[in-house]
Amino acid sequence: MSDRIFGIVGLVLALGYAYAATQIEESFLSDAVGPKAFPLIIAAILGLASIAIILKPDASPDWPSVGRLVEVLAATVVLILYAELLPVTGFVIATALASAYLTWRLGSKPLATLITGIGTSLGIYVIFHLVLGLSLARGPLGI
């Protein structure tokens, strides 16, 4: 029963996401695919996966312990904070903090966590901003 509830929640999310994607206004300078394509693909995949879960649920699902659920909730809060802080702190700082926290929760040592967070942030910045020329949120440091 819990799998079906999860599937229904996923399907509702997919429908909401698809609706939100259709509300994206297209510029007259957009490419042939347009800005709606990627969100609609994500919504379709989520919807299909949710339907599969609804139609064929696991007979005896294994639920994580309360501690693991708290960890998932904490990671969700970090990602929400990441989205909120991105325009304020900029891409590099927000991404470094979020990826460092998530790396730490996956079991890295403190120094490795710091290096991974900064390296991930700078690596993505170089690829997306410097190489591909995409615009990323600028923070107080101008990057």
Domain layout of the chain by residue ranges: 2-55, 66-131
Count the neighbouring beta carbons within 10 Å of the beta carbon of residue 93.
19
Residues 48-82: tens digit of each pLDDT: 999 999 999 888 878 889 999 999 999 999 999 99
Reduced to 3 states (helix: H, G, I; strand: E, B; else coil), residue 56 is coil
Q: Assign residue 90 a region (left: φ > 0; alpha: ψ between -120 and 50; beta: otherwise).
A: left
Torsion from C-alpha of 108, 114, 117, 118, nearest 10 degrees: -150
pTM of the model: 0.65
Rounded mean pLDDT of the chain?
90
Q: How far is residue 35's CA from residue 21's CA, in Å, rounded to a whole number?
A: 8
Q: How far is residue 4's CA from residue 96's CA, in Å, rounded to a whole number?
A: 37
Q: How far is residue 103's CA from residue 111's CA, in Å, rounded to a whole number?
A: 11
Residues 9-26: tens digit of each pLDDT: 999 999 999 999 999 887
